[in-house]
Amino acid sequence: MTKYNGKNRTIDCEPTLNDSQVLEFCKNGYLILENVVPNEINKKTIDYLNGKTPSNPEYIPDGLSEKDLDSIRHSNEPSTLILEKWFRENVIMNPILCGALRSLLGANFGIPVLISAHSVECPAAAQPWHHDADSVFGPELNYLENFYYPQDTPIEMGPTEILPGSHISHTTLDYKDSGTLAAVPAGSFVIHHQSIFHRRGKSTGKGKRHMLKYNYWRTSEPVSDWLEEPGFNPETADFGGHNVGRYYAHMFYWLSGKGDQYRIIGGQAWPWSIKNQIGPSYGFGSSKGYKPDWRKNNPDGYTD
């Protein structure tokens, strides 16, 4: 059951991801949940964005007036949606979405305070590839960005294009290759690490494509209280290949509440491993060694 604390503006529920699924998120940097919002809510959201659904906020936040809320609603950041009970209960608090968020952000995670509307008239050219503003590269997962698609968004309507695994380092803006297109049906979510490299894809269809973007926030210390998976062993798990596996493993360990214990010895040692080995990788559980230097992947100079 999904529980909402209106005073603290937090959500709690049971986690739904297991060890392997959490690790896959660490490696890919995103998770797609398809067709989980009811069709009537998707339609009501689109009508709200088009000015057809009347406003009915649960309350007016301190420091704001009805005039302020009207101005916010009709801007490119229609955050007043968060104040609509039908939207909060069916989109913000969607139980399938929240189970995944609970697994990655821990207990009592915070709900959004800002919504951005990424709407475009199609056909349109693809956006340039980019990391979102204020991206920080590191093992910590203190918030997650979410894309909500209230309408069918096939390739013709320019779905988001994502470069899997690119949340660990700065990627050059002149990237020329293709990524993974999140072509999804109405009522879908794309949960992703805020720093992942992405863009709006090229569209060839006609009409307006709506997408809403907002963040959820960690309020508790990380601990591996997601679903325990029988047989999962971090010593032999596939954390990824050379030069990247060490970062994905670092993130997984941080989420497990063991980020301060994480050490690697380098080379062919753990967490890198391949199926052709005849024995386990050296270096697992080492108390000596080093942590990956995320700063080398970060031209903005963040060190913490």
Whether residue 249 is contained in a domain is answered as no
Q: What is the per-residue pLDDT for 297? A: 55
Question: How far is the C-alpha of 211 from the C-alpha of 37, rounded, in Å?
Answer: 14
Whether residue 246 is contained in a domain is answered as no
CA distances (Å), origin 122, targets 2, 56, 119, 153, 165: 37, 30, 9, 11, 29
CATH number for position 49? 2.60.120.620
Q: What is the per-residue pLDDT for 72? A: 98
Q: What is the per-residue pLDDT for 119? A: 93
Q: What is the per-residue pLDDT for 299? A: 46
Question: How far is the C-alpha of 28 from the C-alpha of 240, rounded, in Å?
Answer: 10
| SS3 state at 190 | strand
Q: What is the per-residue pLDDT for 272? A: 87
Q: What is the per-residue pLDDT for 60? A: 96
Whether residue 236 is contained in a domain is answered as no
Q: What is the per-residue pLDDT for 112? A: 98
Whether residue 270 is contained in a domain is answered as no
Which domain range does residue 117 map to? 3-217
Whether residue 64 is contained in a domain is answered as yes
Omega of the bond prior to 164 within 30 degrees of 0, cis? no
Whether residue 238 is contained in a domain is answered as no
Q: What is the per-residue pLDDT for 302? A: 35
* Closest C-alpha among 27, 22, 43 to residue 271: 27
Count of domains observed in the chain: 1
Whether residue 111 is contained in a domain is answered as yes
Among the residues of 88-188, which ranges form H helices?
95-105
The angle subtended at Cα 82 by Cα 78 and Cα 85, nearest 5°, is 130
CA 81 to centroid of chain Cα atoms: 20
Question: How far is the C-alpha of 35 from the C-alpha of 40, rounded, in Å?
Answer: 12
Q: What is the per-residue pLDDT for 303? A: 32
29: CB partners within 8 A, 6+ apart? 162, 164, 165, 166, 167, 168, 192, 193, 195, 196
Tens of each residue's pLDDT in the chain, 304 residues: 899 999 999 999 999 999 999 999 999 999 999 999 999 999 999 999 999 999 999 999 999 999 999 999 999 999 999 999 999 999 999 999 999 999 999 999 999 999 999 999 999 999 999 999 888 899 999 999 999 999 999 999 999 999 999 999 988 878 888 899 999 999 999 999 999 999 999 999 999 999 999 999 999 999 999 999 999 999 999 999 888 999 999 999 999 999 999 999 999 999 988 788 888 899 999 999 999 888 765 544 333 3
Whether residue 145 is contained in a domain is answered as yes
Q: What is the pTM of this model?
A: 0.94
Question: How far is the C-alpha of 213 from the C-alpha of 100, rounded, in Å?
Answer: 17
